[in-house]
């Protein structure tokens, strides 16, 4: 029998949602936070843009709600949208209390707000173009000062522990792969999924290697409902070097006037949407993709050379450094960009406090789906969601844990322990397996920016064949296949185009959303 670990709250993940949860829990609870890789290897730390919040008197919550619903093609849950966005100012204040130094205006007191695509007002609080890193570093420092929070790097959860208790499907923790490859059951009074997204299921992504959909796969297999899995957002502007994605170029750059051009210098966005470069991400991504297909291009160009070098250095130092490392001077040269898999709008069905269909299992951040994003995430709403959900989940857990956490930790019956075979290789090796590489290219080709019935059906059949062949022999790869299957199944069921889900071919296509909005 493997060693068994136990804790009050097991948080699977170490990004913003995970740390917001941990820091908001009372100090008498023991918290164990698992990092699949190193603590900084998460999408939160890579986020450049900022956090959306209504902080300008000329702005309003209703305007923010309206922008979010438009971007999400009104597939959103309007109640969840209003609930989360109304908490944005408090979320910003909470981050400031925890050491995040947002950029200020010249008066040295008022937050500097920028604007991004899909927003009708300037409402993005930011730290230059490295907001995610600044937030992550501040909260990680705070977590490391708390005696009740233990951070475990290179610990990958691969399967949830769950069973029916009192006739309710209940989560008791997870099977966790340790750095030496051994898998152990880690029991917990409450388990929080904060595993992030799934961009690495595609071969070209802005996500870190850890984003392989493990959380949504584990939850679905344990009996949790999922929603909106077909809505995978592609970021329009990933830096392209030698045909590969070399980093993210923040959307805030277009918010500050950067223009998209063809190699000839022609600007093309105005003929795709009246909002041009400030249209929502799904529209911009499809426009770039269409231009690339039509012209046989590997990329288009993002041009901000009209801004002075000093201004660029003050506003976009990270982008300048990234591009310079590849020999591109953004003050004098346009940036080669193309869309890449970026964000999962769907995920584990959850309430704003992270509650799921499994008792004592919470899902927060990108792995969760409250209905905030709908069919297409509005820029900078995601970091906000992480903070709001993490704080709300902690409040719910704290209330429930006062009298019951310790009892549940010791009450998990042996029958919940998963007995499938465990591969001895570290989890990250799954992405280098031949199946994972072929799978990623298949997702690119058939489940990418444009999809059709034939490609989706072909992908579904291939995934099914691989799953039958593998059985439970490789949990990490099985999680990838499960997550891909959830995306493909949802895409097959939604036969009309909507937001980030664009169907082509013989099936009926809904009228382009941008055309609907413009009429």
What digits encode the pLDDT tens for the residues 245-280? 888 898 889 988 999 999 999 999 999 999 999 888
Match domain 5-230+345-416 to its CATH number in 3.40.50.300, 3.40.50.720, 3.50.50.60, 3.30.420.40: 3.50.50.60
Lowest mean pLDDT among 126-135, 388-397, 445-454: 126-135
pLDDT at 188 over 70: yes
Mean predicted confidence (pLDDT) in 361-365: 98
Terminal Cα distance for the chain, rounded: 65
The mean pLDDT value for 117-139 works out to 92
- In the predicted model, is pLDDT for residue 514 greater than 90? no
**Cross-strand partners of 33:** 11, 151
More confident residue, 334 or 504: 334
Query: What pairs with residue 12 in β-bridges?
Result: 34, 193
The stretch 118-137 carries a mean pLDDT of 92
Please report, for the chain, the start and end positions of each structural domain, with discontinuous segments joined by +.
5-230+345-416, 235-342, 427-504
pLDDT band at 410 (very low <50, low <70, confident <90, very high): very low
Instruction: Give Cβ neighbours of residue 181 (< 8 Å, ≥ 6 apart).
Output: 424, 425, 426
pLDDT given for residue 407 in this prediction: 45
Contact between residue 132 and residue 16 where contact means Cβ atoms under 8 Å apart? yes
Report pLDDT digits (tens) over 430-488: 556 889 999 999 999 999 999 999 999 999 999 999 999 988 778 889 999 999 999 99
Per-residue pLDDT averaged across 91-101, rounded? 96
C-alpha closest to that of 8 among 31, 35, 34: 31
Per the prediction, the chain carries an average pLDDT of 89
Q: With CA atoms as reference, report the closest residue to 230 among 505, 459, 15.
A: 459
Classify burial at 326, counting beta carbons within 10 Å of its beta carbon; exposed 0-12, middle 13-18, buried 19 or more: middle
State the catalytic residues.
281
Tell me: pLDDT of 413 over 80: no
- Topology (CATH) of 235-342: Flavocytochrome C3; Chain A, domain 1 (3.90.700)
Reply yes or no on whether the pLDDT at 489 is more than 90. yes
Distance CA 439, CA 462 (A): 9
d(CA 54, CA 337): 30
CATH assignment, 427-504: 1.20.58.100
pLDDT at 402: 47
pLDDT of amino acid 231: 97
Count Cβ neighbours within 10 Å for each residue of 14-48 and write b for 16 or more, e otherwise: bbbbbbbbbbbbeeebbbbbbbbbebbbbbbbbbb
pLDDT over 70 percentage in the chain: 91
Q: Which residues pair with 7 in a beta bridge?
A: 188
């Amino acid at each position: 029998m493997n060693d068994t670990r136990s804790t009050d709250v097991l948080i699977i993940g170490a990004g913003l949602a995970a740390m917001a949860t941990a820091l908001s829990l009372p100090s008498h609870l023991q918290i164990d936070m698992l990092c699949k890789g190193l603590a900084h290897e998460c999408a939160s730390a890579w986020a450049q843009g900022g956090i959306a919040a209504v902080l300008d008197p000329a702005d309003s919550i209703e305007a923010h709600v309206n922008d979010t619903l438009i971007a999400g093609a009104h597939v959103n849950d309007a109640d969840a949208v209003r609930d989360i966005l109304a908490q944005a100012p408090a979320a910003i204040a909470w981050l400031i209390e925890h050491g995040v130094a947002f950029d200020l205006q010249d008066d040295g007191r008022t937050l500097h707000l920028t604007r991004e695509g899909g927003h009708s007002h300037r409402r993005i609080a930011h730290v230059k173009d490295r907001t995610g890193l600044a937030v992550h570093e501040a909260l990680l420092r705070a977590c490391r000062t708390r005696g009740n929070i233990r951070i475990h790097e290179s610990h990958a959860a691969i399967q949830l522990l769950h069973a029916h208790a009192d006739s309710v499907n209940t989560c008791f923790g997870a099977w966790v792969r340790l750095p030496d490859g051994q898998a152990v059951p880690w029991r917990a009074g409450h388990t929080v999924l904060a595993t992030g997204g799934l961009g690495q299921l595609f071969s070209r992504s802005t996500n870190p290697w850890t984003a392989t959909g493990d959380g949504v796969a584990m939850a679905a297999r344990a009996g949790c409902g999922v929603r909106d899995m077909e809505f995978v957002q592609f970021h329009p502007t990933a830096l392209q070097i030698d045909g590969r994605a070399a980093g993210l170029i923040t959307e805030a750059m277009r918010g500050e006037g950067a223009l998209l051009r063809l190699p000839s210098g022609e600007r093309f966005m105005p003929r795709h949407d009246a909002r041009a470069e400030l249209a929502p991400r799904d529209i911009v991504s499809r426009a770039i993709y269409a231009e690339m297909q039509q012209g046989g291009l590997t990329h288009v160009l993002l041009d901000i050379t009209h801004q002075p070098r000093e201004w660029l250095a003050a506003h976009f130092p990270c982008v300048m450094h990234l591009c310079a490392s590849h020999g591109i001077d953004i003050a004098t040269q346009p940036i080669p960009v193309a869309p890449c898999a970026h964000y999962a709008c769907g995920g584990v069905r959850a309430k704003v406090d992270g509650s799921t269909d499994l008792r004592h299992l919470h899902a927060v951040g990108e792995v969760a789906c409250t209905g905030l994003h709908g069919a297409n995430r509005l820029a900078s709403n995601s970091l906000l969601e992480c903070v709001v959900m993490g704080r709300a989940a902690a409040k719910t857990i704290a209330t429930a844990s006062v009298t019951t956490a310790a009892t549940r930790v010791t009450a998990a019956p042996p029958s919940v322990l998963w007995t499938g075979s465990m591969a001895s290789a570290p989890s990250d090796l799954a992405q280098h397996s031949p199946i994972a590489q072929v799978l990623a290219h298949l997702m690119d080709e058939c489940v990418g920016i444009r999809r059709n019935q034939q490609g989706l059906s072909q992908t579904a059949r291939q995934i099914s064949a691989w799953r039958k062949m593998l059985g439970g022999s490789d949990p990490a790869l099985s999680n990838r296949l499960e997550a891909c299957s959830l995306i493909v199944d949802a895409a097959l069921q939604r036969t009309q185009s909507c937001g980030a889900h664009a169907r082509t071919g013989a099936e009926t296509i809904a009228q382009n959303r941008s055309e609907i909005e413009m009429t």
